[in-house]
Amino acid sequence: MSPGPLSLVPELQRLIGAAHVRTALAERHTYATDSLPTHRRTPALVALPGTRDELIAVVRLLARHGVPFVPRGAGTGLSGGALAGHDAVLVVLTRLSRILRLDAANRLAVVEPGVVNVKLSAAARPHGLHYAPDPSSQTACTIGGNVAENAGGPHCLKYGVTSQHILALEVVLPDGGVVELGSPGGEPWGPDLVGVFVGSEGCFGIATRITVRLVPLPRAIHTLLADFDALRTAGEAVSAIIASGVVPAALEMMDRPCIQAVEDSVYAAGYPRDAAAVLLVELDGNAEAAVAAEADAVARMLRERGARSVRATAVPAERERLWQGRKKAFGALGRLSRDLVVQDAVVPRSALPAVLETIARIAETHGLVVSNVFHAGDGNLHPNISFDARDRAMAERVERASAEIMAACIAAGGTITGEHGVGLDKLRYMPLVFGGDSLGAMRGVRRVFDPAERANPGKVVPVHACREWAGVA
């Protein structure tokens, strides 16, 4: 029987210092949500270890006493995944923020989990390198959080998501054991345990050291902005670009509500306010002539597919301005209403036009404002629902609309999350995608890493939906 987290306060204070163990309600409330406003849990206490050894000591203490814990980075997640309840300790990793090694010759870096995504790229820049996955929250989110969620971002279209950039991990398992997974060259020492750890949402332990792959900065970059009269036409242009064989670095779409929110904000990027949709297409490479030729070809395709206008630039300041609107779109949307649900789903790219129309119908049916800003090139949708959580009836409509959007994406051959994770928010949809045996298999894997299921309990796999599995109680 667990003694309860609060009984561990003196020992935790001894391990990591009293200032780094937060017990006051006001302090704990700070950690009651992530960036998704629909879930709220206040942790029993919050521990902020400052070194790898402190982190391991904390996990071992919790293991000895059988206390559940939830790892958390910057709390920018969008699935309620990094929330701990009254019976669990929230282990916050933001103080573990050192870049331990940067090996330019081998294009890799070794970092602690609390390193902020954009700071890693900044450190790599003088070497002509960068860390490619770039979630919208990259100025705040941490590499540890990116690993836990297998985070994406606009430029993952060409460069791949987090799992393609993690070479090796040092992990403290929930029982306190420390294990090294993967090798600096990326070849596993056996079955691909790095691969299964990335995206495990804190249920398999905590990465204490992360070896990431860095990629060369492109020498030539061209950015195009195209605007359209109809969402469907923009969606069809996306399909045409993908099917042509050109692989843009990024291919992003925003609809009218989103364009207007951006243009009304300090992040105004000069998007045409009357457009039904804009596409932001980025092409990069090492040779200016080849990238320029590709940009011309894409501009032609966009015009042929119904773009009203296409603006192209290779000037860094102009490119930055165009991107600012996209990167800060969620912030701009946040000004429109008290609360915002940022949804996440993926559909086959050719299904985008039809699914976008279905989402618009769902929004209309429920009397909600849904704006779309998303990674069109990957088919990764982010329908954002503006609402006021204090209005219970409205909040229920948001829940129903979210469920219908998920069902529509699954029916189109897609899935319920492309980069935000399951966390708490998508638990109920997991049985719509996976059968009992598949969910049981996932739970079986989790129990190999964490037999007592103390690490981030109650997330990712809905236990009630699992078919009985060998070794699973």
Partner 1 sequence: MGRRGVSIAERVRALLGREAVVDAGPDAAGGPRVAPESPDGVALLLGTAHEEGWRVRVEGAGTWLPGDTPADLTLATRRLDRVPAIHPQDLVATAEAGIGLDALRQRLADRGVWLALDPPGLPGRTLGSVVATATAGPLRGGFGPVRDHLLGMTFVTGDGRLVQAGGQVMKNVAGYDLTRLVTGSFGAFGVIVLVHLRLRVLPRADSTHVLEGARSDLMQIAEEIRAAGGQTAALELVSPALARRADWVLGVRLVGSAAAVETEETALRAAAGGRFAPLRADQAQAFWRHAAEGNAARAVTFRVGGLPDATDELQDLLQHQVGDERVSASPGVGAIRWNGECSADRLLRLRRTLAALEAPLTVERAPWELRHAVGHFGAYREGAGPLVSGLRGTFDPGHRIVTAIDTGAG
Selected range binding partner 1 among 24-32, 55-63, 291-299, 394-402, rule: CB under 8 A: 291-299
Which residues does 123 contact at the CB level (< 8 Å), separation at least 6?
99, 102, 109
Alpha carbons 249 and 377: distance in angstroms, whole number: 9
| Among 34, 252, 378, 425, contact with partner 1 (rule: CB under 8 A) | 378
- According to CB under 8 A, which residues from 320 to 359 bind partner 1? 346-350
- Residue closer to partner 1 (CB basis): 264 or 288: 288
Tokens matching residue 438: 């598949």
Q: Please compute, for residue 263, the number of CA atoms within 13 A of its CA located in the half-sphere on the CB side.
A: 14
Which lies closer to partner 1 via its Cβ, residue 187 or residue 364? 187
Residue 186 within binding range of partner 1, rule CB under 8 A: yes
Residue corresponding to tokens 């006001």:
26
Residue 379 in the binding site for partner 1 (CB under 8 A): yes
What's the min distance (Å) between Cβ of 460 and partner 1?
Answer: 6
Q: Confirm if 63 and 2 have CB atoms less than 8 A apart.
A: no
For partner 1, the binding residues in 258-277 under the rule CB under 8 A are none
Name the minimum Å distance from CB 2 to partner 1: 23
Q: Which of 5, 199, 235, 334 binds partner 1 (CB under 8 A)?
A: 199
Residue 287 binds partner 1, judged by CB under 8 A: yes
Helix (H) and strand (E) counts in the chain:
16, 20
Which C-beta is closer to partner 1: that of 292 or that of 389? 292
| Residues of this chain, 222-261, that bind partner 1 according to CB under 8 A | 239, 242-247
Residue 92 is inside which H or E element, if any?
Answer: strand 89-92
Residues 123-142 close enough to bind partner 1 by CB under 8 A? none
Near partner 1 by CB under 8 A: residue from 380, 384, 386, 402: 380
Per-residue x/- marks for partner 1, 76-105, CB under 8 A?
---------------------------x-x
DSSP helix/strand/coil, 46: strand
Examine residue 187 and tell whether it contacts partner 1 (CB under 8 A): yes
Please identify, among the stretches 58-66, 264-272, 283-291, 392-400, the one whose residues bind partner 1 according to the rule CB under 8 A: 283-291
Q: Select the residue interacting with partner 1 from 4, 185, 270, 316 (CB under 8 A).
A: 185
Closest approach, Cβ 240 to partner 1, in A, equals 9
Q: What is d(CA 134, CA 155) in angstroms, rounded to the nearest whole number?
A: 7
Q: Measuring CA to CA, how many Å separate 28 from each of 33, 38, 86, 89, 92? A: 10, 18, 10, 10, 12
Asked if residue 311 lies in contact with residue 247, where contact means CB atoms within 8 angstroms, the answer is: no
Positions in 152-181 near partner 1 (CB under 8 A)? 152, 156, 160-161, 163-164, 173, 177-181
Binding segment (CB under 8 A) for partner 1, from list 4-12, 309-317, 391-399, 443-451: 443-451
User: What is the C-alpha to C-alpha distance for residues 399 and 313, in angstroms, rounded to an integer?
Assistant: 41
Residue with smaller CB distance to partner 1, 183 or 365: 183
| Paired sense of beta strands 99-103 and 108-111, if any | antiparallel
- CA 258, 264, 267, 268 dihedral sign is positive
Q: Which is nearer to partner 1, 149 or 453 (CB)?
A: 149
Does residue 149 bind partner 1 (CB under 8 A)?
yes
In order of 38, 341, 367, the CA distances from 386 in angstroms are 12, 7, 11
Token pair 């959007």: residue: 405
Task: Please choose, out of 11-19, 225-233, 265-273, 288-296, the segment that lies near partner 1 by the rule CB under 8 A.
Answer: 288-296
184 binds partner 1 (CB under 8 A): yes
Query: Could you say whether residue 460 binds partner 1 (CB under 8 A)?
Result: yes
Provide the CB-side half-sphere exposure for 310 (13 A, CA): 21
Exactly one of 112, 419, 425, 453 binds partner 1 (CB under 8 A); that residue is 419
Report, in Å, the least distance between residue 389 CB and partner 1: 25
Which two structure tokens, joined as six digits, stand for 138?
Answer: 């990259």
Contacts of residue 117, defined as CB under 8 A and 6 or more positions apart, other chains included, come to 131, 133, 134, 135, 137, 138, 139, 141, 142, 143, 146
- Find the binder of partner 1 among 191, 317, 393, 473 (CB under 8 A): 191
Residue 119 has what DSSP assignment? H
